[in-house]
Structure 1
Amino acid sequence: MVLKAFREHFGRGYEVYEKSYREKSGFSFFLAKGEEGKLLIVAGEKAPEGLSFFKEHKIEDKRFFFCRKNHENLEVLKTYFSDLKPVPIGLKPSFGTGDRLGITTPAHVRALKDSGLFPVFAQQSVRENERTGRNWRDVLDDATWGVFQEGFSESFGADADHIKKEEDLIAAAREGFSMFTLDPSDHVRNLSRLDEKEKNAIFENILKKERLDKIYLGKKYTVVKEKVEFDEKNLRDAALVYYDAVVYVSMMYQILKDEISDFDLEVSVDETETPTSPLFHIFVVEELRRKKVEFTNLALRFIGEWEKGVDYKGDLALFEKEIKMHAEISRMFGGYKLSLHSGSDKFSVYPIFSAATDGLFHVKTAGTSYLEAIKTVSIVKPSLFREIFKCAVNHFEEDRKSYHISADLSKAPDIDEVKDEDLPKLFEDSNVRQILHVTYGSVLRDISLKKALFETLEQNEELFYEIVANHIKKHVTLLGGN
């Protein structure tokens, strides 16, 4: 009745998102889109306490309050619907969908609803926030409005990703994030850069702090019928690579515990040059447990190349052998999942990863949804896509510095020579994908480009959602989801 009354009076000026409609405590809440953009509409005898609105209309016995889609009104909405607050995941299989644009969550909801994978709809790294000009509040609010728009009333998570600094950790905790990914890569040593003398000297300094030799030397484990044991050399190397990183994680964990009591913690050692051997994996877990760090996910540096925006590069048979060992180790210790970062389009490894971990996994994607958004532009507005691509090419060499990719700019096409109908096919080219993948910050800092990009996606909203959702569903299916 409420939606019918709204349409009868405002139907020409507003498009209603029917799935967003909810009722609670005598109020009706839903989203509508008009010339002012997307708005929260609240119907009731009076306005809910704390709600801010810029106009109201009375229709029969109800008043319709037109409200901005802002943080304050979202907080009011959460007081009525607690499912709009992210929650910890625990050991359920889970999938994170980063959204660099802040408008893609409805597509992510469509892809992950009833999939069997616990969704993490708010997921952004510090690096991505810096490049997009967003903050933790923006990320969580944008995702939550998307959840509300789609009428999703199940649980979801929010991941403050790749945190290195205490202030970022505290800020994310205070905004309501439920998952925190600590990135200790600045404290991980690269063995290839040290000679034997340096290795021994550093290890001796570590032993002065803690006698790791007395704890680990001669300690044996059986992993997938293989026996692994700490000897003087591999213990030294494990400590060199990870000891300081674990100390850092322990310190950050205590800071987080002082802020909130219930959360998922992910420890990420994936953005390092040194692959995590099974014995190194054991060392990290043993040390985290020894320091009483309770963690939910562990992201290792698996063998092979995990470049952004493209499929896995490496020996799949060797990866399968190693992931089975890592999965066995995680089951042996218990209480945590293996996490796969750089999950964007790692389609060839998904079935192997899912089978080996038997559902004890978390997978992250981010740039892949941005690429699908740009692909949508290439379909509906070729001229804008060409501008975006040129901007990406111009900023690629600078933007690539903090990403692990192998794209060759010399192999980029002359975009003016590609026919309009062939532009979407460029997304099959790994060079094009990576050029676009890492230059999102430069594109979004260009005010005119950003405005045109958002307007184009808004005007083609359903196609945009369909393209992204279909792509994410491919991830879900290969991971064994529904």
Structure 2
Amino acid sequence: MNKQDILQYFDKYHSDRYKAYSSSIMSEKDNYFFMAKGDKEKNLIIFAAPDLTNKFEGENLEEKIADENKLAIKKCYLNHLNLSLLREIFPHLNPSFCGIRASFGTGDRLGIATPAHLQAFLGKDIFPILAQQSVREMARTERNWQKVLDDAIWGCFEAGYEGPFGADADHVKNIKELKEAVDCGFTMFTVDPSDFIRNDIEKLGKQELDQLYNQIPNCKEIKKLYLGKSYKVNGKELIFDDQSLKEIIITYSEALNHVLRCYEFLTGYKKEKFDLEISVDETPTVTSPLAHLFIVLELHRRGVDFQNLALHFLGDWQKGIEYIGNVEEFAREFSLHAALSKSIGGYKLSLHTGSDKFSVYPIFSRETDSFCHIKTAGTSWLEEVKVIAMKNPALYREIHRFALENFEKDRASYNLTTDLSRIPNLDEVSDNELASLFKQNDSRQLIHITYGSILKDKDDRGKYIYKDRIYKVLFDYEEEHYRELSNHIRRHLVLLVSI
């Protein structure tokens, strides 16, 4: 029997209960594996010798003789044990190292978006980071590193994807979190040292600055390395004078020490090659080209091998909406950052809060010659809730009203200019017009930042009020879900014009 025979047989005898994803079928010798969708869940289906199927958890559907060999047909659960066995058989289901090439991260808060994300990448020479979640997101979605990675890999299997992909443990702040992510098989680690970056430099007087500076170990040795040094970039001269150097050292020295500690842990603990991203974007301090230069030179001097650097670029980078700021000013300053990166070499620039920043993608791509990383997350969640609005307006109205009640509480950890008064009165919006709310910035941010409250809310009996119904709608309308989401992510990718 071949793959076609297997699918035809399954369709003939089991199509009353299951629909096979024909693109998912894979074979190893005379053993066949594919995914199928039932009324309420998806399953791994195995046509194989009983000694192999017995290793997987599930229930036997039937046994048959094919080509004089005994075959068991087993319906298996999409759990971690079964996925681990599948990854041993098919190594392409394991995440891998990306390195210095164009890459794009697709955060997936519900864990069901990967097949749609992969559709968006078709024909694009961009390395997909398909498993990407931050510690904050996992706390709000009640997921963990293993669940995030497993969901993405099951999505790869469903889609029949056999190419490379990465797994990013995003915005990790300590070694405990790094260890957990390494143990689960992540291949990329975004170290966030923002807790160690000083944001009060502009408020301090000269005496206070000098006092802080003199408390920094090796400050004089560091000063000797950079004071008076000048670097020409794009026709502009960057000079470390006494004042600017002191301020930069005070701002970033402890953060760089933290990055070094994390890097030393990773190199000692993780045996396989990994991508390292340094993120200094989640701080009020805009990263100047001079600070960028210092950060990179110091990391290299200390032996830190990193692939991506996420800076706080000029402008206002808010969640789920377009870039706010003067695009021409951004382009001028970013050209310096990009030129610095090219001049020093060995790493690429990364854009965080990259969702829906369509006006800056062409600039980012052009100035970096496409050697960049873009990170998105909440925009996929927004597209999924938009599908809820399209297919179950009553449920969306419940979610919207609940989000309004929780917005002030949930906005505390975000930089936002959302004005709830600009959101149309829901009672005056028809069912057919609900999806248009996702074209309005305030409505988008309302749903974007309240995702944790929405997904975690339970009734008095401990039953989820919204979460299970959200999953059911997206399960029932999977074709629409995948179409809307892949089209939206594709819109991001096509604007990376030179990729």
Q: Does 1:357 align with 2:368?
A: yes
Partner of 1:294: 305
The aligned counterpart of 2:38 is 34
SS of the aligned residue for 1:282 comes to helix
Q: 2:294 is aligned with what amino acid?
A: F
The separation in 1 between residues aligned to 2:204 and 2:419, in whole angstroms, is: 30
- Segments of structure 2 that go 5 or more residues without pairing to the other structure are 458-463
User: Partners in 1 of 2:28 and 2:128 — Cα distance?
Assistant: 25
- Deviation digits for residues 302-354 of structure 1, max 9, x if unmatched? 00000001111111111111111111111111100000000010000000110
Q: Which residue of 2 aligns with 1:90?
A: 99
Work out which of the residue numbers 139, 146, 159 in structure 1 matches 2:155.
146
1:283 aligns with 2:283: no
Query: Aligned match of 1:21 in 18, 25, 37?
Result: 25
Judge conservation of contact 1:116–1:481 (CA < 8 Å) in 2. Answer: no
Q: What is the CA-CA distance between 1:198 and the residue it aligns to?
A: 1.9
Amino acid at match of 1:470: N
Query: 177, 197, 201: which one pairs with 1:188?
Result: 197
Q: Deviations over 1:441-460 (max 9, x none)?
A: 01101212111111001000
Can you list the C-alpha shifts for 1:337-380, whole angstroms capped at 9, x where unaligned?
A: 00000001000000011000101100000000000001111111
Q: Which residue of 1 aligns with 2:269?
A: 259
Output the amino acid matched with 2:121. Answer: L
Q: Which amino acid aligns with 2:481?
A: F
SS in 1 for 2:50: coil
Give the letter for the 2:383 counterpart: E
Q: What aligned pairs does 1:300-379 form with structure 2 within 5 A after superposition?
A: 300-379=311-390
Residues in 2 aligned to 1:89 and 1:136: alpha-carbon distance in whole angstroms: 19
Superposition deviation, residue 416 in structure 1:
2.3
Summarize deviations over 1:371-425 as a string: whole Å, max 9, x none: 0001111111111111111111111111111112111123333212211111111
Q: 2:140 aligned to 131, 136, 139, which one?
A: 131
Amino acid at match of 2:409: E
Measured in 2, the distance between the counterparts of 1:405 and 1:112 equals 30
Q: Are 2:400 and 1:389 equivalent residues in the alignment?
A: yes
Contact kept? 1:5, 1:59, Cα under 8 Å: no
Task: Quote the Cα distance in structure 1 between the aligned partners of 2:122 and 2:185.
Answer: 22
Please point out which of 100, 103, 109 is paired with 1:100.
109
2:57 is the counterpart of 1:52: yes
**Residue from 452, 458, 472 that aligns with 2:475:** 458
Identify the residue that residue 429 of structure 1 maps to in structure 2.
440
Gaps (5+ residues) in structure 1?
Answer: none
Q: Which residue of 2 aligns with 1:444?
A: 455
CA distance in 1, matches of 2:283, 2:412: 14
Distance, in Å, in 2 between the alignment partners of 1:226 and 1:368 is: 37
CA distance in 2, matches of 1:346, 1:106: 23
Q: Which amino acid aligns with 2:258?
A: Y
Name the structure 1 match of 2:120. Answer: 111
Equivalent position SS for 2:25: strand
Q: Among 218, 223, 236, which residue is 1:213 paired with?
A: 223
Q: Distance in 1 between matches of 2:389 and 2:41?
A: 24
> Sequence identity, in percent?
44
Matched-pair contact (CA < 8 Å) for 1:115–1:481: no
Q: Distance in 2 between matches of 1:40 and 1:254?
A: 39
Q: Is the 8 A contact 2:365 2:498 kept in 1?
A: no
1:467 corresponds to 2:484: yes
Higher mean C-alpha deviation, range 364-373 or range 7-16: 7-16
Residues 60 and 72 in structure 2, CA contact (< 8 A), matched pair in contact too: no
AA aligned to 1:457 is L
Cα distance change on mapping 1:465 and 1:481 into 2, 3 Å? farther
Deviation for aligned residue 1:55:
2.5
Q: 3-state SS of the aligned residue for 1:298?
A: strand
Contact 1:95-1:364 within 8 A present in 2 as well: yes
Larger displacement relative to structure 2 (327-336 or 400-409): 400-409
After superposition, the Cα gap between the structure-2 partners of 1:258 and 1:291, relative to the gap in structure 1 and judged at 3 Å, is: same
Work out whether residues 23 and 29 of structure 1, in 8 Å CA contact, stay in contact via their aligned partners in 2: yes
**What do the CA deviations read for 1:152-188 (whole angstroms, capped 9, x no partner)?**
0000000000000211110001101010000000001
Aligned length: 482
Equivalent residue, structure 1, for 2:244:
234
Q: What's the offset of the Cα at 1:269? A: 0.3
Shift of 1:63: 1.4
How far off is 1:192 after superposition? 3.0
Aligned 8 A contact 1:443 1:450 in 2: yes
Counterpart amino acid of residue 104 in structure 1: A
CA positional deviation for 1:257: 1.2
Offset of 1:2 from its aligned partner?
A: 0.8
For residues 379 and 363 of structure 1, the distance between their equivalents in structure 2, rounded to whole angstroms, comes to 28
Structure 1 residue aligned with 2:255: 245
1:24-64 C-alpha deviation (Å, 9 max, x unpaired): 13210000011451000010122426322222311333210
Could you give the per-residue CA deviations for residues 273-308 of structure 1, whole angstroms, max 9, x where no partner exists?
Answer: 111111000000011011100000000000000000
SS in 1 for 2:320: coil
How far apart in 2 are the matches of 1:156 and 1:47?
A: 31
1:179 correspondence with 2:188? yes
Give distance in 2, aligned partners of 1:323 and 1:454. Answer: 40
Deviation larger for 100-109 or 252-261: 252-261
Distance in 1, matches of 2:255 and 2:103, equals 25
SS at match of 1:265: strand
Classify 1:423/1:481 alpha carbon distance in 2 versus 1 (closer, same or farther; 3 Å). farther
The amino acid across from 1:294 in the alignment is D
* Distance change >3 Å, CA 474–CA 36, structure 1 → 2: closer
TM-score calculated relative to the size of structure 2: 0.95
How far off its partner does 1:259 sit?
Answer: 1.5
Separation of aligned partners in 2, 1:138 and 1:414: 38
CA contact (8 A) 2:366 2:498 kept: no
Work out the CA distance in 2 between the residues paired with 1:125 and 1:265. Answer: 15
